[in-house]
Amino acid sequence: MDNKFLLVALKIIITILIAMILNIILNYIINQMLKNNKKNFKATMTSLKIIKRIKTALIAIFTFIICIFQIPGITSISISVLSGAGIVSLILGYAAQKTLSNFFCGMGIAFSDPFEIGDYIKCVEIDLNGYVEDITLRHTVIRTIDNKRVIIPNGRMDEITIENYNHTDNEVCRFVEYPIAYTADVDKAMNILKEEIDKLYNPNTNGINKHVEFPKVRVVKWDSSSIIIRGWVWGADNSMTHEEIFNLNYIIKKRFDKEGIEIPYNYLNVIQKDEKNARTKTKK
């Protein structure tokens, strides 16, 4: 009896060791694949991270099943248990409905590539912007600009509209608007803005943006007290575009002051009433 028990224990230990070694070997292979695919690193990393998690889960499940069936008499017990487990399976299936939904949505996200790890995205319905930090089998982790982590179930990510700033091309374009007075020289102001935008990042004219007008400046509208001019600012990615806009705001203020382009602002006229004289006049 003791020999039988030791033999079963030895088989279970060997099975677990084989599973661990297999897991280490597959992890090594996947890590090597990541190193050898630096040109398409984001897409590869996203898919392979999901594959690594699925692989680990499958190895653990099969190892557990093999170990269980090493125990003598477990087969007959398993058949009797499984024959009466129909209702329990239905209950568990209903309870795990959201978990399974998140799992399959995570698989869909990983392999259909609407976004990848490292992409800057905007979740339109929930008004959330940030970088995709991780995609697990259950949820997606988004790192916001203020370095917070927002964890959203994959089922929810599959339902909402995503604006991906890095899906096909990392270059990002945003516009800036500057008000100038009605008495200011509009042509001069537009030329100044064009000159300064041209000194910043230029879009890649050999890529998909080859027909883009650059530098691009337009008169947008006539406001109640100003004329609004708009410029299109480009960057190699979302972070760079923001930095370019911040730099441009500073430079345009300096240039407009130097070139005599008036930037209108609200005036506040304060009328102070002489209460003493007002009372004196009332007595007369």
* Domain ranges within the chain, ordered by starting residue: 2-83, 172-259
Please report, rounded to a whole number, the percentage of residues in the chain having pLDDT higher than 70: 80
Confidence class for position 212, pLDDT limits 50, 70, 90: confident
| Three-class secondary structure of residue 38 per DSSP | coil
Q: How many CA atoms, within 13 angstroms, populate the side-chain half-sphere of residue 26?
A: 17
Average of per-residue pLDDT values in the chain: 80
Structure tokens given for 178: 């500057």
Q: How many CA atoms, within 13 angstroms, populate the side-chain half-sphere of residue 268?
A: 2
Residues 224-255 have pLDDT tens digits of: 889 999 999 998 888 888 899 999 999 999 99
**Domain formed by 172-259, architecture:** 2-Layer Sandwich (3.30)
Give the per-residue pLDDT at 268. 72
Whether 139 shows a pLDDT value over 50: the answer reads yes
Mean pLDDT, residues 21-34 taken together: 80
Confidence class for position 114, pLDDT limits 50, 70, 90: confident
For the chain, where are the alpha helices, taking DSSP H only? 2-35, 41-68, 74-83, 86-95, 97-112, 154-157, 186-198, 238-259, 275-283
Residues 249-271 have pLDDT tens digits of: 999 999 999 999 998 887 777 77
Where b means 16+ CB within 10 Å and e means fewer, 180-216 reads: beeebeeeebbebbeebbeebbebeeeeeeeebeebb
Confidence class for position 282, pLDDT limits 50, 70, 90: very low
DSSP classification of residue 165: T
Give the per-residue pLDDT at 233. 93
Residues 142-174 have pLDDT tens digits of: 999 888 999 999 888 888 888 888 777 778 888
Give the per-residue pLDDT at 224. 84
